A and B are shown apart, each in its own frame.
Chain A
Amino acid sequence: MTSWRTVPNLPCHYVTDDRCMLPVSMRRGRDGQILVLDYSYSRDTGLSGRLRSFSSRGTRGKDSAITGVRSFRSFPDEESESFLPSSFTVDRRNRIYLVGTSFRTDSDSEAVLVRLGGRGFRDPTFGAEGRSILPLAGIQEGRSMAFANRRLILAGIHNGQYCAVTVVIRVRFQPGSGQPAQAPLEVRRCDE
């Protein structure tokens, strides 16, 4: 028997005893495919995000609007951490950027940026095996992203001792690999 309940701090509207799933956003890839980002939650595996790719044409039928699933990728792939994806965007080279929140424990989280190739695999040429923390310390939740004038803008939340604030950063890409050095974030009205 399924009973409906609410999981605190999760934007889930439909939560059963052991799982929850919600589409987050939908965009078009550069070659016309339809990309749908969603996430699921279960007691056993925690949070995980998925990106689905549909063909651009789809097949319209009596009981089916779209067929043609081309890829189905879960992330993080091999890591046991829980990941709540919040937003994604596609660059001019059809690479997919996802921003979200990685939970080490219920109270310990950080914003994470993930880059995938056009076919949904993690891009090993980016950051640390396709994954990067943000270059600003203290952003516990990654929420939104967009390219503006070919530059990547990321927005997240800093949970301070006394309040929480929106933090918007702009990043640039540099040759190299691994995690970026993190600059300190100063929000006195929240932390002092």
Chain B
Amino acid sequence: MRRLFRTGLLWIVLASSIGLSVLPSMASADRIELDTGFGNDGYSVGEGLDVLSPPEVFPQPGGGLLVSDRVGDIDRLDAQGNPDPWGRFDYPVRTWGWEPYTEDIALQGKKIIAAGWFSETSADDPTFEYQRRFIYRLTTRSRIDRSFGHRGRIPAKWDGQGSVFKDIEVTEDGKILAAGGRGIAQNPNPEAVATITRYRPNGALDRSFAEKGTFYLTRRGSPDSFREFDTILEAGGGGVLAAGYNGDRTVVVKLTKNGKGTAGSAGETA
């Protein structure tokens, strides 16, 4: 009886192990094909762009899409991939000055937030360029939302070389987290520090966050080469996660809801 039991047990173990090894190969394979119900036979072509203006796609509630390029223009596509000519936003270069390098867009409710930077030549030294960072907001009809910040955008003050916004995140309560860098010294020794800035939903600086609205990484002992955060994410419980490159490795920083915390590095390097 005991021998029978052992033999049965052996067969069960054998069958289980064979079954487990077979399972992955039984998983159904799939591949992609063009969805011809979208746009023109499966694709939609945007306006002429240069190679340095890579697009970002951003889904909208209701199935539409926002397609932004890095010179600040934003197209709208409906759920079927057809462009909405009335929904296009052309960045007002003449009104706002230099052509921008728009890094990221996000939705604040149904409104569009865009962030990035532009370069400007120094009036004192034509060979010296510095950067200004910006955020602007559009209405649901892709018009400049003049109720936001200063006539639609957050003023781009002179910040020095290396002042950029690289990524934004809109929190559940509508505040805007902006990751990037800020210049702190002028030519010939330009220097920038990695920053995370939080704005209130109306574009005003949220001075309750970190140090009067901005978290500066280098003030907490990071290497000089850490000049910007490249990506940001709202963490659970209202905290903030941001990642950047410190000259040697990718660094992830976690802050509390109020922008307090310590910086450090984690992960493997190349």
Contacts and interface: CB of A to CB of B under 8 A. Distances in A.
Interface of A: 9, 13-14, 19, 21-28, 32, 34, 36, 38, 40, 42, 50, 52, 54, 56, 58, 60-69, 72, 86-87, 113, 125-127, 132, 134-136, 141, 143-149, 151-159, 163-181, 183, 185, 187, 189-190
Contacts of B37: 170
Contacts of B35: 151, 169-172
A135 B38 CA distance: 13
Interface stretch (B11-19, B23-31, B119-127, B145-153): B23-31
A26 B237 CA distance: 17
B32 A69 contact: no
Contacts of A145: 57
10 contacts: A23-B244, A38-B250, A52-B250, A126-B30, A148-B60, A156-B55, A170-B37, A171-B32, A173-B32, A175-B29
A123 B247 CA distance: 32
B54 interface: yes
B236 to A, nearest CB: 7
A157 B49 CA distance: 9
Interface in B46-60: 46-51, 54-60
Interface stretch (B63-71, B133-141, B170-178, B198-206): B63-71
Interface stretch (B1-9, B107-115, B226-234): B226-234
B73 to A, nearest CB: 10
B129 to A, nearest CB: 13
Contacts of B33: 135, 171-172, 174, 180-181
Given A165-B48, A169-B43, A183-B42, A135 B32 contact: yes
A175 B241 CA distance: 38
- For B38, B264, B268, the residue with the greatest tally of chain A CB atoms inside 10 Å of its CB is B264
B59 to A, nearest CB: 4
- For A166, A177, A183, the residue with the greatest tally of chain B CB atoms inside 10 Å of its CB is A166
B1 to A, nearest CB: 44
Given A38-B245, A135-B34, A180-B31, A168 B81 contact: yes
Nearest to B181: A13
Contacts of B48: 163-165, 189-190
A175 B30 CA distance: 4
A72 B268 CA distance: 7
- For B27, B54, B227, B244, the residue with the greatest tally of chain A CB atoms inside 10 Å of its CB is B54
Contacts of A86: 54
Contacts of B77: 168
B4 to A, nearest CB: 40
Contacts of A169: 34-35, 38-39, 42-44
B96 to A, nearest CB: 22
A125 B63 contact: no
B160 to A, nearest CB: 16
A174 B32 contact: yes
B42 A21 contact: no
Interface string B237-265: 00001111101011011100000011111
A65 B252 contact: yes
B54 A36 contact: no
- For B81, B167, B266, the residue with the greatest tally of chain A CB atoms inside 10 Å of its CB is B266
B264 A168 contact: no
Contacts of A28: 233
